[in-house]
A = this chain, B = another copy of it.
Amino acid sequence: MQKLNVAILGATGAVGQRFIQLLDNHPWFAIAELVGKSSAGKRYGDVVNWILDDNPPTDILDIVVKPLDSELESLVVFSALPKEAAVDREPQLAAAGHIVCTNASAHRMADDVPLLLPEVNPEHIALIDVQRKNRGWATGALIANSNCTTMPIVMALAPLRQFNITKMLMVSEQAISGAGYPGVASLDIMDNIVPYVSGDENKMETETLKMLGTLQGDRIDYYESVTSATATRVPVIDGHLINLSIELAEKPSMEAILQAWESYDTLPEIAVLPSAPQRPVQYLPQINRPQPRRDRMAGKGMMTSIGRLRECPILGYKFAAMAHNTIRGAAGCSILNAEFLAVRGYLGTFRPQVAVSITS
């Protein structure tokens, strides 16, 4: 199988680096273009300050970074741009025919942009057809993934939609990598908690409802629930943990909830995607789990871990959810979204092998 060339916008930043790391040796996609602002015109190996483990893959070091406004050759464009840069550039690229899978927040809440989490809302992919019609795009598309703290919340709540979630109170303890690089100054976070993360509370309260919503014709019916979020930063490198208290109108038993998580399965075509975890969520029975350091790499960083389900005297149910914020909560999710688009035939003539094998 010929791999499909992809481009990465914002390739030298923290999320850009994670894209490169996760796409190294990817069975379907090959990194062909790197795009940046201050690094444009230079060899990637000369400008990148690699902050992830180990060193960058050697085969991309010689790629010369293209300016942000370059025409790109790759059909698929992964965007790790900051919001301000994403606002204009991402729709331009989609208009020019590219499939833009973005981690930026700029367009997440636009009515015709899917906020895609394949295991949760695969049908939202149909918004691509809506946006093409709305915006006159022929073959391009803009697909977003959620905020990194919203992500494990949605994954943990999706199996419980059947019980009618009427209230969601969420208190996050977020890792420093969620702020990018250089991001959080060590003098601000060592031996400390910062009880506020700019912008995240609003995203947790709104993105969640869009993602859990259902497609009605050409729009998303938001999930109806009252949401209240508190976002805090703690001295953890990777892995966002969220403490949730929820109200379920159906008042299921604890066993029914555990059962909902344990039996939560995704579409067969999603389960076999290269970046998909074996199962989207796991419930950990130990009383002191999930823990970011010990559980963030479950499913190669793509699985959401849940624990501590118990009664909440106020809202009914309490538990904790945790996922790797820069893998599942960012770059990994964009890549999984692109894989899902591939098997659904949105990536032009590209037909990945795995899709063939499962339909046979």
Q: Give me the interface of A with B, judged by CB distance under 8 Å.
A: 14, 51-55, 167, 169, 171, 173, 176-177, 181-196, 205, 226-228, 230, 232, 234-237, 241, 243, 245, 284, 287-295, 297-298, 307-308, 312-315, 318, 320
User: In the assembly, how many copies of this chain are there?
Assistant: 4
Query: Besides A173-B173, A192-B293, 19 other CB < 8 A contacts?
Result: A51-B188, A53-B294, A53-B295, A54-B294, A173-B232, A184-B185, A185-B186, A190-B235, A191-B235, A191-B236, A191-B293, A192-B294, A193-B234, A193-B236, A195-B243, A195-B289, A195-B290, A226-B314, A227-B314
Specify which chain B residues have a CB less than 8 angstroms from the CB of A241 in the assembled complex. Answer: 193, 195, 232
- Show 15 residue pairs from A and B whose CB-CB distance is below 8 angstroms, ordered by the A residue: A14-B187, A54-B298, A169-B314, A173-B173, A173-B232, A181-B187, A186-B186, A191-B293, A192-B291, A193-B236, A195-B289, A195-B320, A228-B245, A234-B235, A237-B293
Contact B186 A307 (CB under 8 A): no
* A232 CB contact (under 8 Å) in B176, B186, B230, B243: B243
A55 to B291, CA, bound (A): 12
Knowing A185-B183, A185-B185, A234-B234, the reply to whether A195 touches B314 (Cβ < 8 A) is: no
Contact B190 A312 (CB under 8 A): no
Minimal beta-carbon separation of A224 from chain B (angstroms): 13
Contact B187 A183 (CB under 8 A): yes
Tell me which of A192, A235, A288, A320 has the highest count of chain B C-beta atoms within 10 A of its own C-beta.
A192
Specify which chain B residues have a CB less than 8 angstroms from the CB of A236 in the assembled complex. Answer: 191-193, 234-235
Specify which chain B residues have a CB less than 8 angstroms from the CB of A227 in the assembled complex. Answer: 313-314
Tell me which of A52, A177, A195, A227 has the highest count of chain B C-beta atoms within 10 A of its own C-beta.
A195
Knowing A228-B315, A232-B243, the reply to whether A54 touches B295 (Cβ < 8 A) is: yes
Contact B292 A192 (CB under 8 A): yes
Tell me which of A54, A169, A227, A312 has the highest count of chain B C-beta atoms within 10 A of its own C-beta.
A169
A315 to B230, CA, bound (A): 13
Q: Chain B: which residue is nearest A190 at the CB level?
A: B237
Contact A234 B194 (CB under 8 A): no
A302 to B186, CA, bound (A): 24
Specify which chain B residues have a CB less than 8 angstroms from the CB of A51 in the assembled complex. Answer: 187-188
A228 to B317, CA, bound (A): 10
Contact A205 B54 (CB under 8 A): no
A313 to B168, CA, bound (A): 10
Q: Chain B: which residue is nearest A291 at the CB level?
A: B192
Minimal beta-carbon separation of A70 from chain B (angstroms): 29
Specify which chain B residues have a CB less than 8 angstroms from the CB of A313 in the assembled complex. Answer: 205, 226-228
Q: Chain B: which residue is nearest A313 at the CB level?
A: B228
Tell me which of A14, A171, A188, A312 has the highest count of chain B C-beta atoms within 10 A of its own C-beta.
A171
